[in-house]
Structure 1
Amino acid sequence: MPKIQVTLLTGRSLGQGRAKEQGKLSELYLESVACCEVQHEDLQNIGLEYGNNIRVTSNHGSVVVKVVAPTQPLPRGVVFMPYSIWATQILGSDTEGTGMPTYKCIPCTVEPAIDEKIMSIEELTKKFPRKRSRS
């Protein structure tokens, strides 16, 4: 499978804000944030079309999301994902003393994942066991 090296940026999006009003368990929220904006030429390099599933992988993890057209111009080699539980699958937890993890300029690869399923928010949260409260 072809894959390309990219730099991931994360941030807020208008669609994310609108969809949150319907709830984070809604289908609209999943469609609005379980996605990655990829520039057209980069998409052609891995043989995909908008609407296909892709795997985004960093040193911290990997996640399958839908590839969508950028809402703003992106240079080649830069992709964007809205803040979400899907984006946090590939973000590190190290804050380097700032109290905030790195949300920008994350080295990643993207590759086709056409036959792979996008996990629901419920499935993603089950991956992480809850800590028991001290009683």
Structure 2
Amino acid sequence: MVILLKAIMISGRTLGQGASSEAKMSPEFFKAASFCALSELDYDALDVSEGGNVLVRTNFGEVVVSAKKDEGLPPGLIFIPMGPWANAVVGPETGGCGTPQFKGVEAEVERSAMRVMDVRELFADLKRAGGEGS
């Protein structure tokens, strides 16, 4: 049975993502930016296993990221660090400021057996799909 969680996605900078942002092809950046933080309640409701992945889908795209519990998040709110994985699911509209809306994106989340793509694979996939990440 597929459990689908409706959530609001936010994104932002993290210490790990910021510290490794100069080396976006590195394993450190991959680990720091390719995850989705969920409340403990939502994580458990999705029945994600330790080290498991989730598929995050919005009106703008979808991406597989690793799932992490975050006791600081309330149920219904997910967090993906700024980077290519968050970019895959936010809209291209910038409101004239040059930065997409990284807060308040409606999303659906489900447990996934698919693996998380690295940066090169993610960009190639977005290019094939005609996305903005090309």
Bin for the TM-score computed over the shorter chain: 0.7 to 0.9
The answer to whether the Cα contact below 8 Å between 2:53 and 2:67 also exists between their aligned partners in 1 is: yes
Match of 1:16 in 2: 17
CA-CA distance at 1:100 after TM superposition:
2.7
Match of 2:87 in 1: 88
- Gaps (5+ residues) in structure 1? 130-135
Match of 2:40 in 1: 40
The answer to whether the Cα contact below 8 Å between 1:50 and 1:69 also exists between their aligned partners in 2 is: no
Matched, 1:28 2:19: no
Match of 1:119 in 2: 117
Q: Aligned ranges for residues 30-109 of structure 1 at < 5 Å?
A: 30-70=30-70, 73-109=72-108
Distance 1:3 1:9, change over 3 A: same
Question: Normalization by structure 1: what TM-score?
Answer: 0.86
CA-CA distance at 1:51 after TM superposition:
1.8
The answer to whether the Cα contact below 8 Å between 2:30 and 2:118 also exists between their aligned partners in 1 is: yes
Q: SS of the residue aligned with 1:105?
A: strand
CA distance in 1, matches of 2:41, 2:124: 36
Q: Deviations over 1:67-90 (max 9, x none)?
A: 1122x6111100111001011100
CA-CA distance at 1:32 after TM superposition:
0.8
Q: SS of the residue aligned with 1:93?
A: coil
The CA RMSD measured in Å over matched residues stands at: 1.6
Number of positions where the alignment pairs a residue of Structure 1 with one of Structure 2: 126
CA distance in 1, matches of 2:102, 2:8: 11
CA-CA distance at 1:40 after TM superposition:
0.6
Aligned-residue identity in percent: 29
Query: Residue 51 of structure 1 aligns to which amino acid in structure 2?
Result: G
CA-CA distance at 1:50 after TM superposition:
4.2
Q: SS of the residue aligned with 1:76?
A: coil
CA-CA distance at 1:99 after TM superposition:
3.4
- Gaps (5+ residues) in structure 2? 129-134
Match of 1:4 in 2: 5
CA distance in 2, matches of 1:119, 1:125: 9
Structure 1 residue ranges (4+ consecutive) displaced by more than 4 angstroms after TM superposition: none
CA distance in 2, matches of 1:36, 1:3: 15
Q: SS of the residue aligned with 1:5?
A: strand
CA-CA distance at 1:49 after TM superposition:
3.4
